[in-house]
């Protein structure tokens, strides 16, 4: 008996020992261990090269778990990469080949991490130098380029300025100039010394010297991909360029707009927001658009640039009606215009006709139709704007086609069931004289649109409806 009990206790101890031995594996947590990025201390991707490798180990993930590499910006916001290949290295270890996005905005504080399909994310990878942050850029453009329309010389007037611009010599060819890529930044140099704070595609210069530009890809920059060098010299002829606006600045942006006039010179090149305006090569330029306008004036061996930040003025207005509103029999719709216009006037139209007496900011709609309201500012900057809206009636519940139109009712139109209002159905209306007064598809229940000629009797018209729902014929009597 003692032998049996001893044997039973021994089996229990073995069972519980095995249970507790395996219990930690039941509750083991997922873990990912990124390895040091081999030979990678920065990401300098481009159209010619965009593939990188990241190796890591992992444990305690369910079967079928997949992994991806994520970029992290300076604020630790994740940015997806493109997985191009998974390279297994053995149990619990793999290398992922990936590509970075081609719209990546370059910076010096990116990082990498692993994310599993279960939602687990790792710590950041480290470079061989032990850094968790490193530069990452996508170089949209990797070639030499031109400034100053490829010319290596320019003359600046005493007391004036000159704008050097990155050139777009073949705008019809996509990607032929760095100006085609909005993410590209530049470094400008004068006499081989970088000019602080200048990263745009244009540079305004006021002193002589040798200027050139390079694309700024941070630590991924390549000095071999720079511009031509422009020697800017000075001339005593000419004068600083000014630009006058005929309507002042701010200006009233209505009609043909304001006329910009530059200081007199030999030739002119106008630009808006840094982009050359095609065909604008005279002393004056008319516009009704706000923006930063510049003009390069050649005085004959001496060039100078004038600038004006043109601001338009006007008024604001809004309407509280939807594009389309349905009203029922006997219902009305109140529509109001809100505006900050000075001394505003209001004109309301129905089906293109001016509504007599409707001259306030509110109109009460009682019949269906296409409406329009015109708001005008009559003092200061005289301008106007218009709003359109549509008012419809209830949907016909049956296929019954009405044979009477009452012009003095809430619905002074011939409204037919929706089954006949589509692009596959033709609606024809013929007068008693045999004249075809309507021939349309996708009829919207809005006839008549013009005045009906009443004589001694109520006029009678005849309709033909042809479509998928069959052909229907009948008469329509129009009553005042």
Give the domain CATH number at 185.
2.60.40.10
**149-154 mean pLDDT:** 86
Based on the fold, state whether residues 125 and 173 are members of the same structural domain: no
Q: Which residues form the domain of 466?
A: 404-479
Based on the fold, state whether residues 383 and 422 are members of the same structural domain: no
Based on the fold, state whether residues 53 and 130 are members of the same structural domain: yes
Task: Tell me what the pLDDT averaged over the chain comes to.
Answer: 87
Is residue 458 included in any domain, yes or no? yes
Q: Who contacts 405 (Cβ-Cβ below 8 Å, separation ≥6)?
A: 412, 413, 414, 448, 476, 477, 478, 479
Q: What is the pLDDT of residue 144?
A: 94
Task: Please say which residue of 104, 139, 174 terminates a domain.
Answer: 139
312 close to 251: Cβ distance less than 8 angstroms: yes
Is residue 221 included in any domain, yes or no? yes
Number of domains present in the structure of the chain: 5
Based on the fold, state whether residues 135 and 52 are members of the same structural domain: yes
Based on the fold, state whether residues 73 and 46 are members of the same structural domain: yes
- Give Rg (Cα) of the chain: 38
| Backbone conformation region of residue 248, classed left if phi is above 0, alpha if psi is from -120 to 50, else beta | left
Based on the fold, state whether residues 342 and 266 are members of the same structural domain: no
Q: What is the pLDDT of residue 107?
A: 92
Task: Please say which residue of 392, 415, 442 terminates a domain.
Answer: 392
Q: What is the pLDDT of residue 161?
A: 81
16-20, 122-126, 158-162, 353-357, range with the lowest pLDDT = 16-20
Based on the fold, state whether residues 78 and 118 are members of the same structural domain: yes
**177-206 mean pLDDT:** 94
**164-177 mean pLDDT:** 91
**252-261 mean pLDDT:** 80
- In this structure, which long-range contacts are made by residues 207-210, counting pairs with CB atoms below 8 Å and at least 24 apart in sequence? 207/156, 207/232, 208/156, 208/232, 208/233, 208/234
**Which pLDDT tens digit goes with each residue over 370-396?**
999 999 988 877 888 899 999 988 755
Is residue 12 included in any domain, yes or no? no
Based on the fold, state whether residues 431 and 467 are members of the same structural domain: yes
Is residue 42 included in any domain, yes or no? yes
**Which pLDDT tens digit goes with each residue over 314-341?**
788 999 999 999 988 789 999 999 998 8
The CATH number for 443's domain is 2.60.40
**Which pLDDT tens digit goes with each residue over 300-309?**
667 788 999 9
Is residue 288 included in any domain, yes or no? yes
Is residue 3 included in any domain, yes or no? no
Statement: residue 14 has pLDDT above 50:
no
Is residue 298 included in any domain, yes or no? yes
Q: What is the pLDDT of residue 289?
A: 84
Based on the fold, state whether residues 125 and 56 are members of the same structural domain: yes
Based on the fold, state whether residues 53 and 134 are members of the same structural domain: yes
Statement: residue 469 has pLDDT above 70:
no
Based on the fold, state whether residues 227 and 261 are members of the same structural domain: no
Per-residue CA distances from 413 to 290, 407, 431 (Å)? 45, 7, 16
Select, from the ranges 153-157, 215-219, 375-379, 415-419, the one with the highest average predicted confidence (pLDDT).
Answer: 215-219
Task: Please say which residue of 286, 313, 340 terminates a domain.
Answer: 313
Q: How confident is the model at residue 255 (pLDDT cuts 50, 70, 90)?
A: low
**262-274 mean pLDDT:** 87
CA-CA distance, 403 to 454, in Å (whole number)?
Answer: 17
18-22, 74-78, 367-371, range with the lowest pLDDT = 18-22
Based on the fold, state whether residues 420 and 432 are members of the same structural domain: yes
Is residue 7 included in any domain, yes or no? no
CA-CA distance, 57 to 34, in Å (whole number)?
Answer: 6
Q: What is the pLDDT of residue 22?
A: 37
Q: Who contacts 451 (Cβ-Cβ below 8 Å, separation ≥6)?
A: none
């Amino acid at each position: 008996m003692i032998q049996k009990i001893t044997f039973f206790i021994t089996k229990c101890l073995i069972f519980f020992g095995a249970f507790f031995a395996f219990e930690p594996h039941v509750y083991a947590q997922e873990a990912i261990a990124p390895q040091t990025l081999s030979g990678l201390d920065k990401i300098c991707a481009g159209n010619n090269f965009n593939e990188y490798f990241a190796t890591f180990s992992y444990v305690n993930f369910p079967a079928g778990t997949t992994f991806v590499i994520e970029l992290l910006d300076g604020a630790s916001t994740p940015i997806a990469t493109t997985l191009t290949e998974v390279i297994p290295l053995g149990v619990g270890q793999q290398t992922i080949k990936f590509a970075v996005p081609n719209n990546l905005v370059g910076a010096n504080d990116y990082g990498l991490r692993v994310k599993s399909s279960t939602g687990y994310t790792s710590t950041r990878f480290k470079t061989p130098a032990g850094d968790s942050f490193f530069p990452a850029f996508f170089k949209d453009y990797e070639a030499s380029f031109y400034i100053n329309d490829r010319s290596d010389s320019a003359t600046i007037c005493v007391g004036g300025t000159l704008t050097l611009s990155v050139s777009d010599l073949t705008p019809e060819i996509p990607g032929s100039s760095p100006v085609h890529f909005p993410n590209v930044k530049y470094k400008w140099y004068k006499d081989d010394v970088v000019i602080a704070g200048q990263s745009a595609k244009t540079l305004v210069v006021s002193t002589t010297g040798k200027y050139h530009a390079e694309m700024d890809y941070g630590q991924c920059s390549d000095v071999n991909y720079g511009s031509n060098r422009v020697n800017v010299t000075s001339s005593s002829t000419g004068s600083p360029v000014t630009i006058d606006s005929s309507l002042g600045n701010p200006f009233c942006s209505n009609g043909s707009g304001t006329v910009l006039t530059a200081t007199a010179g030999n030739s002119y090149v106008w630009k808006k927001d840094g982009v050359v305006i095609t065909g604008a090569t005279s002393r004056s330029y008319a516009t009704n658009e706000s923006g930063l306008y510049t003009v390069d004036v050649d005085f004959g061996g001496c060039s100078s640039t004038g600038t004006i930040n043109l601001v338009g003025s006007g008024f604001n207005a809004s309407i509280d009606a939807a594009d389309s509103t349905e009203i029922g029999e006997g219902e009305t719709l109140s529509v109001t215009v809100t505006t900050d216009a000075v001394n505003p006037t209001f004109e309301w139209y129905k089906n293109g006709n001016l509504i007599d007496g409707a001259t306030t900011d509110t109109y009460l709609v009682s019949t269906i139709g296409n409406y329009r309201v015109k708001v005008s500012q009559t003092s200061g900057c005289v301008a106007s704007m218009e709003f359109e809206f549509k008012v419809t009636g209830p949907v016909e519940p049956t296929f019954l086609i009405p044979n009477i139109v009452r012009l003095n009712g809430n619905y002074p139109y011939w409204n037919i069931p929706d089954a006949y209002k589509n692009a596959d159905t033709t609606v024809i209306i013929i007068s008693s004289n045999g004249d075809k007064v309507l021939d349309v598809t996708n009829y919207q229940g809005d006839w008549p649109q013009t005045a009906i000629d009443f004589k001694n009797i109520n006029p009678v018209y005849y309709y033909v409806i042809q479509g998928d729902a069959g052909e229907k014929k009948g008469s329509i009597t129009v009553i005042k």
